[in-house]
Chain A
């Protein structure tokens, strides 16, 4: 039988309270391009706390909403109250699928080195031609 409503999706870096209150939950999280804060930083935090988690590409988020796998979204601003890039996509998808979104202040991510500022690189390596134009992710506001 297909699984449904088995994940809490988190986007952004949670604060300690989230981890304490959700130790037994099945966490779904995405890479969080361009800086890969999800894959590089959040995955380590979840692993440190021995929490069950599944990583997906940002592009796969809609898929899991469509499959009704997401029961709740926890969206975290950083300490300065700023949403990470992609927060608007997350909010719209959650609203469309009538999934509750909890918005809280979380942590500001510290990664060893910022490798990627936009879509032209991945883990510091080129993925496309240097001359191709890109749009650096801006601070997003939710509608």
Chain B
């Protein structure tokens, strides 16, 4: 089974960044060149890339700008990266770019002396390879606990991890069938998840977000599995809007709710997470067509908080934890 293009949607090669344009999927697979910070921020704001793609875009933009500005010392890089982190955070305020910057800073501290740019590049690629390895590992953890013929309900898009999961499950002699919610208003489910699963030859059914309760009632769903953009030390998560109601429905129907999680870093509880609100026009217009009168007031919160009490398991890079276990782990 081929890896999904969404597993590694942003590439850095020969000093250039290219971004898989997720807004053009599933009908076109095109890549956009990024030559500077301004373009990177523009792509980020327009959600040309998101989820793991924005992690890659962040790190590669740091590299790009460090080279452009001929940064030759950790101190100068620290000033540059702080400024870039600030700009990325303003563009997508829910995501923890500060945490990514801190993780890189730790690697740069620990590394040996050599030409700074080369050191930076080595650190970035080492970090990304570590994370990609961890992502490949954690899907095995979920595959292990799935039943023989598993049915998963998912929301938004988990950047290629569901394709990997199905691959690992197949090696274990298991099959996985997916139900993907469309994930309005950006349609990550319709355009990205359903597409990548279909392209990988997997069984996927696309449903409207509001059908979830009926599907959980009528179909035998074994697990609700989602990604997350943030997590807290308490074991809460933040993920795409629509995730919270799925968690409530899963609880109601006694179906386990699992989430792939990010390291919480300094995020202690949900009050530390800012929920991004996006322009209402993004939900009121589709492909140039207006869905409601121009004067209609609308609200588009882009993310949901899912409190720990609704979560059965958090899939971290080194194991699956209950929220209580995670909270203890983080206290140590």
Is chain B's interface secondary structure helix, strand, loop, or mixed overall?
Answer: mixed
Query: A135 CB to closest chain B CB, in angstroms?
Result: 5
Beta-carbon contact of B214 and A85 below 8 Å: yes
A44 CB within 8 Å of chain B: yes
- Quick one: which of B219-273 are within 8 Å of A by CB? 240-242, 244-246, 248-249, 251-252
* Bound Cα distance from A50 to B296, whole angstroms: 11
Given contacts A43-B293, A128-B195, contact A118 B298 (CB under 8 A): no
Assess A85 versus B205: contact at CB under 8 Å? Given A60-B301, A119-B190: no
- Which residues from chain A contact B214 at a C-beta distance below 8 Å? 85, 88-89, 137-138, 140
Nearest chain A CB to B251's CB is how many angstroms away?
Answer: 8
Contact with A134, one of B205, B210, B212, B300 (Cβ below 8 angstroms): B205
Residues of B within 8 A of A66 (CB): 244, 304-305
- Among A13-21, A30-38, A73-81, A100-108, the stretch in contact with B: A30-38
Is B190 in contact with A89, judged by CB distance below 8 angstroms?
no
| Contact assessment for A59 and B242 in the assembled complex, using a CB-CB cutoff below 8 Å | yes
Could you show 13 A-B contacts with beta carbons less than 8 Å apart? A39-B292, A47-B293, A53-B296, A56-B299, A58-B210, A58-B242, A88-B213, A126-B27, A129-B194, A129-B198, A132-B195, A135-B207, A137-B214
Instruction: Find the B residue at minimum CB distance from A96.
Output: B248
Give the CA-CA distance A16 to B291 in the complex, in Å: 24
**Is there an interface contact between B301 and A93, defined as CB atoms closer than 8 Å?**
no
- Size range of the chain B interface in the assembly: 35 or more
User: Given the known A-B contacts A63-B301, A129-B198, are A89 and B187 also in contact in the complex, defined by CB atoms under 8 Å?
Assistant: no
Tell me if A's interface is mostly helix, strand, loop or mixed: mixed
A63 contacts B241, C-beta separation under 8 Å: yes
Q: Are A57 and B241 in contact (CB under 8 A)?
A: yes
Counting CB contacts under 8 A, is A40 at the interface? yes
Asked whether, in the complex, the Cβ of A92 is within 8 Å of the Cβ of B299, the reply is no
Judge whether A86 and B211 touch: CB under 8 Å.
yes
| Interchain CA distance A133-B146 in the complex, whole Å | 23
B245 touches which of A54, A59, A131 (Cβ 8 Å): A59
CB neighbours of A133 from chain B (8 A): 203-206
Contact A119–B304 (Cβ < 8 Å): no
- Does the CB pair B198–A127 fall under 8 Å? no
Say yes or no: B205 contacts A89, CB within 8 Å. Answer: no
Give chain B residues whose Cβ lies under 8 Å from the Cβ of A47. 293, 295-296
What 11 new A-B contacts, CB under 8 Å, besides A58-B208, A96-B252, A135-B205?
A34-B208, A52-B297, A55-B284, A57-B209, A59-B184, A65-B245, A85-B210, A129-B198, A132-B194, A135-B215, A137-B214
Contacts A54-B299, A125-B287 given; indicate if A60 touches B213 (C-beta within 8 A): no
CB distance from A4 to the nearest CB of B (A): 15
> Could you tell me if B206 and A33 are in contact, using CB atoms closer than 8 angstroms?
no
Q: Give the chain B neighbours of A122 by CB distance below 8 A.
A: 187, 286
Contact check, A54 vs B297: say whether CB atoms are below 8 A apart: yes
B291 touches A89 (CB 8 A): no
Is B151 in the interface zone, CB < 8 Å from A?
no
A52-B195 Cα distance, complex, nearest whole Å: 39
Q: How far is the CB of A108 from chain B (nearest CB, A)?
A: 19
Please determine whether B211 and A137 come into contact, CB atoms closer than 8 angstroms: yes
For the complex, what is the distance from the CA of A47 to the CA of B293, rounded to whole Å?
A: 9
Tell me which residues across on chain B come within 8 A of A36, comparing CB atoms: 291
The contact of B182 among A86, A90, A119, A125, by CB within 8 Å, is A119
Residue of B nearest to A56 (CB): B299
A143 interface residue (CB < 8 Å to B): yes
Choose one: A61, A125, A132; the contact of B198 (CB below 8 Å): A132
Task: Scan B165-202; emit 1 where CB is below 8 A from any A CB, else 0.
Answer: 00000000000000101111101001100110010000
